[in-house]
Structure 1
């Protein structure tokens, strides 16, 4: 296959739906082979089967699915073994898996706080650490860490989420400095409001009205998973060969303003 990721092999976490699934589809369309990882096994397997079948490929030929709890060192070791055994190398890691939790500071339990930190922050740390050896063996690579605009500025009722996303922003820069000599680039992506199931899950599964958010943004709409997948693709590809340790924002203009602005 030809494309911007031709010949590259990627591992994408949180790949069964939303931003992760959009990136899997975009990566394969651009020539990559992908290990799609998640804990939502039925949805992840269905995604891999759908893509391989649509392209007339055998099962697991372009997209493989694996169960990966990003908080588990053993699961990370198994995923790295899977991707290198199946596709021969690892060129791109997309640390996309994450959870959202709304709660006032005074009402946030330690268990809820630690859950968000462990999945979002520790999961990203474990992923980056696991990718170092195979990317060094491949002669370089690209790590894309999904932070958030809550990794750039605060929002109320998101104490744990904001802490985790600021941490990802900082860890990205440390990793970029350490891994640059190995030809491994590390960047963070900071989405704004994106219409995904994660937001509905965080508010108890109810349908979320995004229209009021869209009306407050410069582009007058909330983002879609495909809006983030395009940016992740750029950072995974050689088009971003001189980008590392940087923050890439896709938020419809949310961070272009300040609290005194009225829209």
Structure 2
């Protein structure tokens, strides 16, 4: 079966809200208009916050909206071996390193630098870039500390990764970025610093698992909220390093609350289960999100 492949990929760590409904309905509409396929993926790598109850709620809400998707559904928690294999490859190629620095220690380094007048870089979300002071630890020291049971995270060596890329890095954007970017958008993963791609107890992160899943599932079009626009740069870097195909991206507008802020799963008044209980219909939901 050929044609475009779209996917809606929620995390079962809360109830779906109007923003999720917009993204799911838009993916379904575009799949229908292009004679494409619609996949549902459950992104549940955070096994402490994701629950079977919330996962069942996702199926219930999407079914209520009238959406249909292909089976079987890919659940990320069933595929940690896939991510571990890719992580091992990045580590073996010296593109990832163990970072033992705690958040508190990182904040202290940043505070000390700023106290001397240094302007510490911020990532596109406005968060201070994590100090890369452990990038050049010796292999023996890394092994000694791992064997001693120190907690650590695997971080992408962004500098080394970019040195492996021979051609300009970018992606095709069929939506628009925060500043109206569309067409071929240059990717600047260096703005994020050395991001976490896995942890000692979990062999993946959002960025790593999503590029692996999109490739394995043959996803050709990634349609998602504009809040993930800048993160695409990191995912494009990982795709290039791993030899994975690059989907076409469409970052859509966010559904905002009355306060003008992005909707949160903690806001029960926009949860689909609450709106359904209040008597709203799927047609009402589609109208509320502009579809």
TM over 0.5: no
TM-score normalized by the length of structure 1: 0.34
Which is richer in helix?
1
Instruction: Mark the structure with the bigger radius of gyration.
Output: 2
